Amino acid sequence: MAKLEGKVVLITGAHGGLGTFVTNSFLEAGARVIAVSRAITDSSSPHPKLSAMAADISTGEAARQLMETAVARSGRLDGLVHLIGGFAGGSLVSETDDATFERMLGLNLRSAFHVIRAVLPIMRWQNAGRIVAIGSKAATEPAPLAGVYAASKAALVSLIRTVARENSEHGISANVVLPGTMNTAANRATEPQADHSKWVQPCQVAKLLVHLASDESSQINGAVIPVYGTEA
CA 102 to chain centre: 19
CATH number, position 94:
3.40.50.720
170-226 pLDDT, tens digit per residue, is 999 999 999 999 998 888 988 999 999 999 999 999 999 999 999 999 999 999 999
- Split into its structural domains, the chain has a count of 1
Q: Tell me whether residue 3 is in a domain.
A: no
Select from 134, 146, 58 the least CA-distant residue to 96: 146
In a domain, 213, yes or no: yes
The verdict on residue 215 lying in a domain is: yes
Residue-wise pLDDT tens digits, 111-143? 999 999 999 999 999 999 999 999 999 999 999
Domain membership of residue 80 (yes or no) is: yes
Give the global pTM. 0.95
Residue 2 lies in a domain: no
Q: Is residue 138 part of a domain?
A: yes
Supply the range of the domain harboring residue 60.
8-227
142-171: per-residue pLDDT in tens? 999 999 999 999 999 999 999 999 999 999
Residue 82 domain-assigned (yes or no): yes
In a domain, 232, yes or no: no
